Structure 1
Amino acid sequence: MRRLKEKVALPFAPAAVADLQERLLAWYRAEKRDLPWRRTTDPYAIWISEVMLQQTRVETVKPYWARFLARFPTVLALAEAPLDDVLAHWSGLGYYARGRKLHEAARVIVERHGGALPADAAALAALPGFGPYTVAAVGSIGLGLDEAAVDGNVARVLTRWLCREGDPREAKALAFFREVASLLLPPGAAGDWNQAMMELGATRCGPGAPACLGCPVATHCLAFRAGRQAELPPRRKAKARPELHLAAALVVRDGETLLARRPDAGLFASLWELPAVTVEAGEGTALLQRLVDEMVGGGAVVGEAIGTVEQTLTHRELKLTVHAVAAQAQAPRIAAPYVDVRFADPAAALPGGLSSVTRKALRASRQER
C-alpha cells in the first residue's frame, strides 16, 4: 500500500486500544440489529448485501436481498443468468451500475476462481465493482480476512474518536482513515469489528448530535472529551445539483401501456420506461409529440400533465412529468433513443425491468397496481 505523507499514529495507548476493542465488540455482539445478512456465513450472500446497501437504506434492501438470492442463490446462478433477468430483479433499487457489476464479477469469479469468492484481498480487488470498501467488508465478514472497512459511518466515528478536522469524505481523508482503521483492527475479529464500527456510526454516532450517553466507548472519544462531538465532522455545504426535466407519454391500449427500452449505456441503461424526451423547465410538449408521432403514428395527441414525480440521481435532480396521450390502436415503432418498444402490462415481468422513476410515474398516474 502506498504510504501517506500524513503520519498515521494512534493517540491511544495500547491498553486503551485493547479496552476500546473489548468494549465495542461486546456492545456489538449484545446489541446489534437483527439483519438477515447477519444470519448467514455465505460469502456470496454477504457480498450481495454489501453491494445493495451502498447508497440504499437497510429497510429497502431487506426484501430485495431475499428475492435476489431466491432467484440467484449462487455465484454460478448469477453468472449464468441473462443480464436482463438480473436487472429486472434489481429494478427499483436504483444505481443500476451495481447490478451490472455484480453480474460481470460473478462471471469472472466462475471463470477464474471456480465459482467461489477468492479469500485473498488482491484477488478480490481485481474483480469488477470491488473497491477498497467492498474488498474489506466482504473479505472480513464473509471470508475471515483481516481487512479494515471504512464507509461513511466509520469515517465519521473515526473523525470523532481522533477529534480530527476536515471533511472525512474527501479522498485523502478516507485513505488516512483506512490506515488508522488497520491499526485499530483486532486480528481474527475483523468481521465483527468492522460491523461494530458501522453499527456504532449508524445507531449511535450519526450525523449531527451523536447519542454519546449510549455509546460504549465514549470515554475513549477525543471529540467527546473536548465537547466537540456535535461539531465534528463539519457539515458539508450542499452543492447545487443540475436539474434534468423529462416529459413522458402515457399511452394505454386495451389495458396495456406503451413502454420503451433504453439502450445498454447511459441513463437508465437497458431498462423500460414511459417514452420520454428531455425538455427545458417550462417547455411545451412539441418534442414529446414528435416522439409519440414516430412511435404510434399521426393522430396521437399529447394531452395535459396527469402526474409529476421527482427523483435524486447520482449527480442530478430528475423531474418527470407524465402526459396522457390519446392514440389509435396500432403496432408501435421504435424511435431514437430507444432500442425496443411495446405495449405491455407494467406489473408483468419485463426483460431488464422498469426504471424506479417509471414505477413512481405509473403510480402517480394511477396506472400501476
Structure 2
Amino acid sequence: MSESNLLELPFAAPPPPERGRVVVSDAFDLLRSLAPESVDLVVTDPPYESLQIHRARGTTTRLTTNWFTTVPNERLPELLREVYRVLRSDRHFYLFCDEVTADIIKQQQGIGAARLVNGARKCASGFVYWKEIVWAKTTLDGARIRGGTGYHYRAASERILFFEKGKRALSDLGIPDVLMAARAGVPGPAVKPGAVVRTLIAQSTSPEELVVDPFCGSGVTGVEARGLHRRFLLGDIDLAYLDPSLAELAPRDAIVARAAAVVAEPVDPPELEALADGSASADELDAARACGWLDADGATAVLDKLLEMRPIEREAALRRALRTEAPRPREPDRLRAWRAWALSGRRRP
C-alpha cells in the first residue's frame, strides 16, 4: 500500500496496557470491580480467622500488632466465588492458608473423597481442587526445616490450595508439591518468600498475562510478577508494608514505604523511654528531634502515643512510622540508619 493510501486517524494510538497497578481497597470490593473473565491468575494470602486460635493459645504474636483485620470463615465461599468469576477459562488460583483454614474451605466447598477421573475434586464455587502444595519453611541457609507455631510438632509449613478453572497445563511438570524456602527477611505481617510466589506465577502464566492479589500485603506478588514480565494488580486496605520498589505505583495519598530512597547501614532505635527522659545519646536525641518525636519541651504527642503501646505493638508502629514518612532533606545520619532498620527484616534484640 502506498503512503498516499494510508488513513490519517484523528486520534492518537491507544496507550500500552499498564504493567502494574497498586490500589487501596477492600479485597472483596476490588474483586467485584473487575470484569468477568478478565484475570489470568490469582495468588493471595487472606488474613484467615484461625490466627485467632493461635492468639488465644499464645502460640503466635502476629495478631497482637493490629496489622490487619481477619476475614471471617463465613466469607471464604464469597472469596472463591468472586475469584472464579473474574478468572478467564483455563486458569489457576492459589490460596495460602494454614491447616485449619484448609479444612474449613474443603468442608465449605464440599470437597470430599470422591474424585474425578483425572484425580481432581469438584468445588461448590465451580473450581476443581487439585491438591495442597506445601511451603516448607527453612532456615535462611536452606539447610533444615524451621519450626513455627503450635505445641505438638510445631508447624513448619503452610498450605497453598491449588484450584483450577477449566484446564491448563503447568509450565513445568517436574516441580514437586513441596516448595522449600526461608521466611521472607522483610518486615510486615505474613510476608511470603519471593521464591515460592515466583514458582507459582511461572507455573501458571505466560508473559504479559495479568496476575491479581487482592490481599497484597508487602506486594511480593507484584514484585515477582514484574520480574517475570507479567502484568499485575495489587490491592490492600493498608499499604504501609508495601515493598518500596512498588511505592511509585500506589495512589499519591496512600501511606506507603516512602523511605525507599534511604541508603544506610541499619541501626536499631534505642528504647523510647531513653528518648523521652533524655538519657539516649546525643546522636539519638538529634534524630528523634528531626523526626518529630522530641521538641524543646521534651516528648511530643507522637512519642507519647508510641510509649503507651505494648512492646510488640510498639515495634510494628515504630517501623511503620519510619517507613512511611518521606525522608527530609539533610536528615541526621542516625535517623537515616533507623529508616534503614525499619525497611530491613532485622528484629530488635
TM class by smaller structure: under 0.3
Give the alignment's TM-score, normalised by structure 1. Answer: 0.26
In our comparison, the structure showing a higher alpha carbon Rg is 1
Give the alignment's TM-score, normalised by structure 2. Answer: 0.27
Structure ranking higher in strand proportion: 2
Structure ranking higher in helix proportion: 1
